[in-house]
Structures are given as structure tokens and as C-alpha cells.
Amino acid sequence: MYFHRQELQHKSKPSKPDALFARRLQEVLGGQYGEITVALQYGFQAWNSHLPGKYRDLLFGIGAEEMGHVEMLAVMIAQLLEKTPIQGAEDAAKADPVLGAVIGGMDVQHAIVAGAGARAVDSNGNPWQGSYITASGNLLADFTANANAEMQGRLQVARLYHMTDDHGVRDLLSFLLARDTMHQNQWIRAAELRAEGHEDLPVPSNFPISKEYREASYEYINFSDGAGAAEGTWASGPTPDGKGEFSYRAEPNKGVPMPPATQPDSRFYGTDPKPNKVEKVLGAVKDAVEKK
């Protein structure tokens, strides 16, 4: 169960409206790595979790916090849009180039669709979608996804920070940066469920290794002509999963020949590989005879 309290975790009030920045801020609300993504991602990981206790508690707790971040951003965007101008863009540009730039560069759906309100979309107006979520049932994989989400998210907030001088907005962004710092650290730490034996590298670690083609498991095979790849720590030395040694192959082995072209049922009407055959003519005759 979720409960709502009409408070915000941190102050969320711009010094002045800014419809252009409102559009940009949509990215971290409704984009691929926005707050809706993490709120629902942690929720689904918790609901699908196979082990009770601290990991599921963590997922529930952070998921609920992120729902509050969705709210802080939506409320901020609505305030940034409060003075959204409504008039012809070209005329505005003639009268005042700055106003014209605002009308031309803002999210037009903020005005037309939401009447100066926040939306569940990214900064280009693409609707948020469920496929942004990752919840596989394997927590080492999913915590890695979570660490990535928090890294991409903090990166975007850091970029947005420089796209505004507004103290109120920057104040909120500085808070979000801090929470992303916490969440990055926390998922990296949680990935240490590896140390407790729940899971290991390579994910999934309990797939029987005998069923893997082990000759190819630790070999760097070079499919581009850059020589530098040979110098990486992935080309020699022990592997992070502690089960092998990296090796380097400068170009791939000769492959196997391309299998022959498939020949599906002729009633799929793919291109006929045997043109001009007699049967085709006979078939047409037979068909004409059987004509219903």
C-alpha cells in the first residue's frame, strides 16, 4: 500500500517561470532514465523478488522515495510553466525576439495539451513507456541495471544544472544529485549480494558451465582493425569472474559457410527459386480446370 502526504521531500520552487527549461526538465521526469522509470523499476523488482528481507525492503523503500521525486519534478515543471505565453509564435518573434525564442523552443504540448502542466513524456515529447523498465528476477543483473540508471540519471541532472541560473531550480537539482550519489553507491554496494553467495559472475552464475562453449568464454576476438584493443585489461590477465584468463585473437577464426536458403511452403508466395518451370504452367492449367 502507498500513502501520500501533501509535502515535498525538498523545496521545489523556481525563482521565476521558464517554459524552455520546463521542457528540458521533462527528461528526468518522463525520459528513459527519469524518475518514473526508477520508481516503477524498483517497484516491479520488489513485487517480483524471490528473496524476502533486506534486498526487497531496500527496493520498496527506494521505489517509494522515487515516487516522491516524480512529484517534486512535476510540481516544479508546473511552476516553471505558470507564465507560459499563449500567442502566435511568429508575431511574438517580430515583437520580441526573446519571446519568440521561448514560444518556438518550448514544448508545444505543454501549452496545447496540458494547459501549462507537466506531462509523462521526455524532453522531446516522447511518452514514457513500460519498456524502459528492467526487472528480470535476477538481482545481480537488476542491481547493475539500477546502478546504470542512477548514473545516467545523475549525468543528465548535472547537464541540466548548467542550462539554468535559477537558484530555486538549482537547489532542487543539487538535492537530486545528492540522492543519485546515494543511490549509485547503494546499488553498487547491494550488488555485493554476490559476496553472500546469492549470485555470481557471469550472470546467471548457476547455469551449468558445462553447457557453455568454454573455448570462447574468455577470448577477445577482434572484428575491427584498431590495434588498441589488444592493450586493454580485457585482453590478458585474470577475468573478473575469477574463473578464467583473458586471451586475445587478432582476427576471428574462419567461420562456417552460410546455410543454404530456406524453402518454405510455396503458399507463402516467397520468391520462387525455380523460375520458368513446366510444373508452373501445368499448375495454372490444373487450377483453371478446378476453378470453383
Q: Which 224-243 residues touch its own copies, going by CB under 8 A?
A: 224-229, 231-234, 239-241
Nearest distance in Å: CB 37, its own copies: 10
Per rule CB under 8 A, is residue 2 in the interface with its own copies?
Answer: yes
Nearest distance in Å: CB 168, its own copies: 10
Among 35, 38, 192, 278, binds its own copies (CB under 8 A): 192
Per rule CB under 8 A, is residue 35 in the interface with its own copies?
Answer: no
Nearest distance in Å: CB 29, its own copies: 10
Contact map string, positions 59 to 88, toward its own copies, x by CB under 8 A: -xxxxxx-xx-xx--xx--xx-xxxxxxxx
Nearest distance in Å: CB 1, its own copies: 4
Per rule CB under 8 A, is residue 38 in the interface with its own copies?
Answer: no
> Measured between alpha carbons, how far is 160 from 31 in angstroms, rounded to an integer?
13
Residue 102: other Cβ atoms inside 10 A: 20
Per rule CB under 8 A, is residue 21 in the interface with its own copies?
Answer: yes
Per rule CB under 8 A, is residue 249 in the interface with its own copies?
Answer: no
Among 15, 35, 38, 262, binds its own copies (CB under 8 A): 262
Total number of residues that touch its own copies (CB under 8 A): 215
Identity of residue 232: G
Per rule CB under 8 A, is residue 15 in the interface with its own copies?
Answer: no
Say which residue the cell 554476490 belongs to: 194
Q: Which residues, including other chains, have CB under 8 Å from residue 151's CB and lie 6 or more apart?
A: 184
Per rule CB under 8 A, is residue 196 in the interface with its own copies?
Answer: yes
Nearest distance in Å: CB 96, its own copies: 10
Residue 83, all three cell numbers: 507564465
DSSP per-residue letters across 142-209: HHHHHHHHHHHHHHHHHHHHTT---HHHHHHHHHHHHHHHHHHHHHHHHGGGGTTTS--SSSSTTS-G
Nearest distance in Å: CB 38, its own copies: 13
Residue 213, all three cell numbers: 562453449
> Measured between alpha carbons, how far is 201 from 240 in angstroms, rounded to an integer?
8
170-179 own/partner pairs: CB under 8 Å, 24+ apart: 171/10, 171/11, 172/10, 172/11, 172/12, 172/72, 172/73, 172/76, 175/9, 175/10, 176/28, 176/69, 179/65, 179/69
Nearest distance in Å: CB 55, its own copies: 8
Cα 207 to Cα 18, 193, 203, 272: the distances in Å are 53, 18, 8, 43
Among 15, 35, 38, 165, binds its own copies (CB under 8 A): 165
Residues from 172 through 191 that contact its own copies (CB under 8 A) = 174-175, 177-182, 184-186, 188-190
Say which residue the cell 515529447 belongs to: 125
Per rule CB under 8 A, is residue 152 in the interface with its own copies?
Answer: yes
| Residue 273, preceding peptide bond in cis (omega within 30° of 0) | no
- Residue 231, φ and ψ in degrees, nearest 5: -90, -10
Per rule CB under 8 A, is residue 197 in the interface with its own copies?
Answer: yes
Nearest distance in Å: CB 33, its own copies: 8
Residues from 85 through 144 that contact its own copies (CB under 8 A) = 85-91, 93-94, 97-98, 100-105, 107-109, 111-141, 144
Among 15, 271, 278, 282, binds its own copies (CB under 8 A): 271
